[in-house]
Amino acid sequence: MTFHDAVVYQIYPKSFRDSDGDGVGDLRGIIDKVPYIASLGVDYVWFNPFYPSPGHDNGYDISDYCAVDPAMGTMEDFDELAATLGAHGISPMLDMVLNHVSTEHEWFRRALAGEQRYRDYFYIRPARADGAAPTHLPTNWVSKFGGPAWAPFGPVDDDGRPLSGEYYLHLFDPTQADLDWHNPEVRARAAEVVNFWRAHGVRAFRFDVINLIGKTEPLADAPAGTDDRRVYTDGPLVHDYLHELNRASFGQDPDSVTVGEMSSTSIEACVGYTAPERQELAMVFNFHHLKVDYENGEKWTLMAPDIPELKRLLNDWTLGLQAGGGWNALFWNNHDQPRALNRFGDAGRHRYESATMLATAIHLLRGTPYVYMGEEIGMTDPLYTSIEDYVDVEARNAFHALVDAGRPPEEAFAIVHSKARDNARTPMQWDDGEHAGFSDVEPWLRPTNQAEINVAAEEAGGRILPYYKRLIALRKELPVISEGLYEPWELDDPDVLGYLRTHAPGGGEPGARLLVLCSFRDHDTEVRVPADLAAGRVLITNYPDRRPESYAERPLGPTVRLAPYEALALIVTSPDTL
């Protein structure tokens, strides 16, 4: 399968490189950096949206799906970027935000103007006759950015009630109106968008919050007093609509690669989305493993990550998708998450060790790894000290909600600082200059520690970047990584993530067995080693000075002692051991 040995690099275009001195990243900036991207050895580059947008949710509120935002460049720039990447064997992966459109999109404007055809593109519902505020809203659903998920459709009276008596659904910001996929015309329009980009040669797509498109009619309340997202998530229609989209667009290209972003999802649903015979998607992102530092499932809390729970989730998902023939996208970071290095590692004293350990944990796993820009040089959360440093609507809303709920501002800030999406959206740190080599002027979001952490320093003698390149190359060299079977190892160990991969190709070719051990602790830990791997070769480790190239001469005992945040992968290659 084309994507089993692939690695995807994610670029947040607004923050990668500013070529025209307006403080905002752009497509020509990315073109300048293609040699760097190619040097990583990746196969795809996923670009967050660069389409025209009023920018209330940084480009996820799209006002035209089939154009380039003038602040980012032109269609010619995009074609040149795709061709430049293509010359290095890299394919662009475009972000398709088809659950909702900007309220400035022509479709919503025409709905507002009263055109029935476009009203039918959206969820527009009358107020409930029975209730006082807020129960007059069509359902009790909560927006993922806070507040109710319904906003007045059209002008409002002095009490903020719509003169039309109607509300429209927005599961995200009020400027992002949910599209009603029950309408076949909406589904045809969605396929047209994908086909527009296919005509520009694009073969890879990421589908934003796509498990929200199959809402069950009639829209029903979540159980009283809860924000139970299951009422609108992973409905059975999602599978039908994805299959239909697949057949009408990307599925016509044998080399297409797709990934769906699945919020609040289940293993069972994701097997369905990705088992090849179902012709839906190639792979999925799920987020359960990135909620192990949410106290009682609440994002805006301060909590150390629950490592046993993290291990359980990674294991359950890997085993579950393997058993069902599905495929996972593997990631720690993206533009919506604080830096994993700060969450699961030690971004200070053990920055190199924890960055490389985290990378090892997912790059040798069953699935397709994603690297989010800056991760490969060990970028950290910015050293911000005030909510004014943050731009993101979600972070600002959360800060004010926490303060309104009575939290002291310092505490509210500490919480937001630990979880904010902008933590990952600071400019890529190319060098130690005032603007981090990102721009000649003040960037839209402030970098803070480029003096210590930057690409130039890593290229000149850093240890994180070369480690990532090696991991990326290994996936292509060894079928045991791209195709091998997964089994957990020492699942009950509270500190060390362990797993085995086995590949038995048959036909007399030697097979391979791989053991991966990753310590999530800043102290030494001892972990068991299976007998057949005690004499294995060291495939990769982040403590190369402490490990021999192979244990063939002097095998390990029944256990091995791991250093803080150590990653150790041992391999044996022999038909006999399989």
The footprint of ligand GLC (CB under 6 A) covers 57, 60, 97, 172, 208-209, 261, 335-336
Q: Which does 26 bind (CB under 5 to 8 A by kind): Mg ion, ligand GLC, none?
A: Mg ion
Can you tell me whether residue 86 is helix, strand or coil?
A: helix
Nearer to ligand GLC, 57 or 495 (CB): 57
Nearer to Mg ion, 22 or 79 (CB): 22
Residues with Cβ within 8 Å of residue 378, at least 6 apart in sequence: 341, 351, 352, 355, 453, 458, 462, 464
Q: In this chain, which stretch among 11-19, 156-164, 354-362, 476-484 interacts with Mg ion, using CB under 5 A?
A: 11-19
Strand order in the sheet with 8-11: 283-285, 257-261, 204-207, 91-96, 44-47, 8-11, 368-372, 329-330
Q: Does 18 bind Mg ion (CB under 5 A)?
A: yes
Residue 168 · residue 151 · CB < 8 Å = yes
CA distance 566 to 544: 10
Can you tell me whether residue 267 is helix, strand or coil?
A: helix
Active site (annotated) includes residue 261: yes
Place of tokens 């972990």: 527
Nearer to Mg ion, 30 or 481 (CB): 30
Mind giving me the DSSP string for 217-256? Answer: SSP-PPSTT---GGGTSS-HHHHHHHHHHHHHTGGGSTT-
DSSP, res 523:
S
- Taking the complex as a whole, the smallest distance from the CB of residue 325 to ligand GLC amounts, in Å, to 26
Q: Which residue is nearest to ligand GLC (CB)?
A: 60
Nearer to Mg ion, 22 or 434 (CB): 22
Q: Residue 559: beta bridge partners?
A: 528
Q: Which does 244 bind (CB under 5 to 8 A by kind): Mg ion, ligand GLC, none?
A: none
Active site (annotated) includes residue 522: no
CA distance 497 to 515: 11
Q: Which does 20 bind (CB under 5 to 8 A by kind): ligand GLC, Mg ion, none?
A: Mg ion
Q: Which of 193, 185, 192, 232 is nearest to 213 (CA)?
A: 232
Q: Count CB-CB contacts under 10 A for residue 185.
A: 12
Q: In this chain, which stretch among 14-22, 218-226, 448-456, 499-507 interacts with Mg ion, using CB under 5 A?
A: 14-22
Query: Residue 430 corresponds to which tokens in the numbers above?
Result: 């190319």
CA distance 377 to 393: 27
From the list 5, 261, 381, 422, the catalytic residue is 261
Q: In this chain, which stretch among 23-31, 149-157, 341-349, 372-380 interacts with Mg ion, using CB under 5 A?
A: 23-31
- Taking the complex as a whole, the smallest distance from the CB of residue 440 to Mg ion amounts, in Å, to 10
Place of tokens 């980009």: 197
Residue 141 · residue 222 · CB < 8 Å = yes
- Taking the complex as a whole, the smallest distance from the CB of residue 23 to Mg ion amounts, in Å, to 7
Q: Which does 208 bind (CB under 5 to 8 A by kind): ligand GLC, Mg ion, none?
A: ligand GLC
Q: Which does 24 bind (CB under 5 to 8 A by kind): ligand GLC, Mg ion, none?
A: Mg ion
- Taking the complex as a whole, the smallest distance from the CB of residue 49 to ligand GLC amounts, in Å, to 8
- Taking the complex as a whole, the smallest distance from the CB of residue 10 to ligand GLC amounts, in Å, to 10
- Taking the complex as a whole, the smallest distance from the CB of residue 19 to Mg ion amounts, in Å, to 6
Residue 280 · residue 324 · CB < 8 Å = no
| Dihedral pair phi/psi, residue 363, rounded to 5° | -70, -20
Nearer to ligand GLC, 97 or 177 (CB): 97
Q: Count CB-CB contacts under 10 A for residue 468.
A: 26
From the list 57, 178, 208, 458, the catalytic residue is 208
Q: Which does 150 bind (CB under 5 to 8 A by kind): Mg ion, ligand GLC, none?
A: none
Q: Which does 18 bind (CB under 5 to 8 A by kind): Mg ion, ligand GLC, none?
A: Mg ion
Determine the size of the site formed for Mg ion (CB under 5 A).
5
Nearer to Mg ion, 46 or 50 (CB): 50
Please pick, from the candidates 6, 7, 11, 24, the single residue that binds Mg ion as defined by CB under 5 A.
24
Nearer to ligand GLC, 206 or 475 (CB): 206
Q: Does 261 bind Mg ion (CB under 5 A)?
A: no
Nearer to Mg ion, 443 or 462 (CB): 443
Residues with Cβ within 8 Å of residue 431, at least 6 apart in sequence: 437, 450, 454, 455, 456, 457
CA distance 61 to 104: 9
CA distance 337 to 373: 12
- Taking the complex as a whole, the smallest distance from the CB of residue 17 to ligand GLC amounts, in Å, to 20
Nearer to Mg ion, 24 or 40 (CB): 24
CA 143 to chain centre: 20
Stated as kind and residue range, the H or E segment containing 151 is strand 150-152
Burial of 204 (0-12, 13-18, 19+ CB in 10 A): buried
Q: In this chain, which stretch among 26-34, 321-329, 422-430, 545-553 interacts with Mg ion, using CB under 5 A?
A: 26-34
- Taking the complex as a whole, the smallest distance from the CB of residue 407 to ligand GLC amounts, in Å, to 24
Q: Does 26 bind Mg ion (CB under 5 A)?
A: yes
Q: Does 22 bind Mg ion (CB under 5 A)?
A: yes
Helix %, strand %, coil % of the chain (to 5): 35, 15, 50
Can you tell me whether residue 550 is helix, strand or coil?
A: strand
Q: Does 459 bind Mg ion (CB under 5 A)?
A: no
Q: Does 5 bind Mg ion (CB under 5 A)?
A: no
Burial of 554 (0-12, 13-18, 19+ CB in 10 A): exposed
- Taking the complex as a whole, the smallest distance from the CB of residue 25 to Mg ion amounts, in Å, to 6
- Taking the complex as a whole, the smallest distance from the CB of residue 73 to ligand GLC amounts, in Å, to 21
Helix ranges (H only) for 96-140 are 106-112, 116-119
Q: Does 30 bind Mg ion (CB under 5 A)?
A: no
Q: Does 445 bind Mg ion (CB under 5 A)?
A: no
Nearer to ligand GLC, 144 or 435 (CB): 144
Q: Which does 209 bind (CB under 5 to 8 A by kind): Mg ion, ligand GLC, none?
A: ligand GLC
Q: Does 20 bind Mg ion (CB under 5 A)?
A: yes
Q: Summarize as ranges the residues that interact with Mg ion (CB under 5 A).
A: 18, 20, 22, 24, 26
Which residues are designated catalytic? 208, 261
